[in-house]
Amino acid sequence: MSTNPATLNAPANTPGILPGLPRVPWVGVVIALIAGAGLLLAGVGLLVTGAVVLAWLASLWSVRPETIVEVRTVEVGSVSRLAMIDLLEPFSVPMLMLDGQRIAAANAAARTELGNHIVGQDARVALRHPEAITLLDMREGIVTVRGLTGPRSIWQVRRVAMDDRFSLIELADKTAEADISRAHTDFVANASHELRTPLSSIIGYIETLADPDARIDAATTARFHATVLRESKRLQHLVEDLMSLSRIEAEKHDIPRDLIDLGQMAASIGGEVGATVGEDRIVIVTEPGTVLGDRQQLDQVIRNLVDNSMKYSDASRPVELSVVRRGTEAVLSVTDHGEGIHADHIPHLTRRFYRTDPGRSRAAGGTGLGLAIVKHIVERHRGKLDITSKQGVGTTVTIRLALVD
């Protein structure tokens, strides 16, 4: 007996297929029998019902077995296009399936980044970057594409061949990694500059004082000593702030658990500041508000904000420190009545070493890290930080923390 080659190529576990025998269309048989039973229940005669069922069954066996087996083999052996689309959709990483050079399918992540219109497009038109087009000329490979979805975006694009016809494109967003790397580089450069400036000043004055040939009078010597002391303290404050920032970042995933009355803490710190600089320089208005927090870090936040306000406020007007309850939040506010800050600077104020006026900040003893420290502490406490300012009126820094019963 001769056998059909297409039938022999079918998978061994394919239902209804035996070597050399046609496939039994069981689903169609069952449907035909159910339809016949329905006709009988509807009152149709037995003879007519039997003729209908036989004609139905004959139509099922009129399909050539080779055709049925061929379709089944293609779907199981090389994975159908529809099945491939279903596989791509759940991935959070943008994925494209190419049929030659044309995009046959794109998952939701890819459609979000590149647009719904890319399905059916030529991949060279959809990706439209020289590096990506170079990749499309290769069977497999990885390239880095800059500016694919935005001016600063960086994507790693990888192509993997499925067979001679179909291939997969995976897009991995590397923008955040590049931003972090750039931020680390900038931080090291800025920290080095901030450390080098006072060190250079200290070394220069000490070398002058230590020079046996230098003829320096007592008044100049005293002024040099005062400068060295001031720059040494500035260096000390900078190192302390850097260490503090490092500790805060190391603990940023640990939620604080201490119960702290924020109003009482603010009143206590405000009282200390008033005793030092004069009670007329600070106005304190607080009410009880218990939050979950780290006592040392919240103390540091209040002191940093009050210290900043004292540096830049009009000396004739007091700094205002308040803690009030608003709904489910304790709201801490510190307001100064200084020159104010231009709106262009406000989004950048919490960046490390960012200063609106570098000369004035250094003269006031600022390290450029105070608001960066405040931001990281507030983030660790799952709070909200807001800075508002109007030039010629002043600046208000507001922190909102969740109250606990």
| 370-397 tens-digit pLDDT | 888 899 999 999 999 999 988 888 899 9
Same domain, 166 and 210: no
Q: How confident is the model at residue 352 (pLDDT cuts 50, 70, 90)?
A: confident
What does the alpha-carbon distance between residue 263 and residue 33 come to, in Å, rounded to a whole number?
81
- Indicate the number of domains in the chain: 4
Q: Would you state the pLDDT for residue 302? A: 92
CATH number at residue 180: 1.10.287.130
Same domain, 243 and 300: no
- The Cβ-side half-sphere exposure at 99, using a 13 Å CA radius, reads 12
Looking at 138, 153, 173, the residue that finishes a domain is 173
Same domain, 58 and 19: yes
Looking at 54, 78, 102, the residue that finishes a domain is 78
User: Is residue 40's pLDDT more than 80?
Assistant: no
Same domain, 91 and 196: no
For the segment 397-405, the average pLDDT, to the nearest whole number, is 90
Same domain, 272 and 357: yes
What does the alpha-carbon distance between residue 98 and residue 383 come to, in Å, rounded to a whole number?
46
Same domain, 67 and 197: no
Same domain, 319 and 334: yes
Residues 340-351 pLDDT 10s: 888 888 888 888
Residues 315-329 pLDDT 10s: 888 899 999 999 899
Same domain, 300 and 365: yes
CATH number at residue 159: 3.30.450.20
Same domain, 391 and 287: yes
User: Is residue 306's pLDDT more than 50?
Assistant: yes
HEC string for the chain: CCCCHHHHCCCCCCCCCCCCCCCCCHHHHHHHHHHHHHHHHCCCCHHHHHHHHHHHHHHHHCCCHHHHHHHHHHHHHHCCHHHHHHHHCCCCCCEEEEECCEEEEECHHHHHHHCHHHCCCEHHHHHCCHHHHHHHCCCCEEEEEECCCCCCCEEEEEEEECCCCEEEEEEEECHHHHHHHHHHHHHHHHHHHHHHHHHHHHHHHHHHHHCCCCCCCHHHHHHHHHHHHHHHHHHHHHHHHHHHHHHHHHCCCCCCCEEEEHHHHHHHHHHHHHHHHCHHHEEEEECCCEEEECHHHHHHHHHHHHHHHHHHECCCCCEEEEEEEECCEEEEEEEECECCCCCCCHHHCCCCCCCCCHHHHHHCCCCCCHHHHHHHHHHHCCCEEEEEEECCCEEEEEEEEEECC
Q: pTM of the full predicted structure?
A: 0.53
Q: Would you state the pLDDT for residue 235? A: 85
What does the alpha-carbon distance between residue 171 and residue 168 come to, in Å, rounded to a whole number?
10
Same domain, 55 and 145: no
Same domain, 279 and 385: yes
**What is the span of the domain harbouring residue 143?**
81-173
User: Is residue 399's pLDDT more than 90?
Assistant: yes
What does the alpha-carbon distance between residue 94 and residue 99 come to, in Å, rounded to a whole number?
17
Q: Would you state the pLDDT for residue 60? A: 59
Residues 156-199 pLDDT 10s: 888 888 777 888 888 888 877 766 666 667 667 777 777 788 88
What does the alpha-carbon distance between residue 97 and residue 106 come to, in Å, rounded to a whole number?
6
Same domain, 402 and 338: yes
The residue ranking higher by pLDDT, 384 or 242, is 384
Looking at 148, 173, 198, the residue that finishes a domain is 173
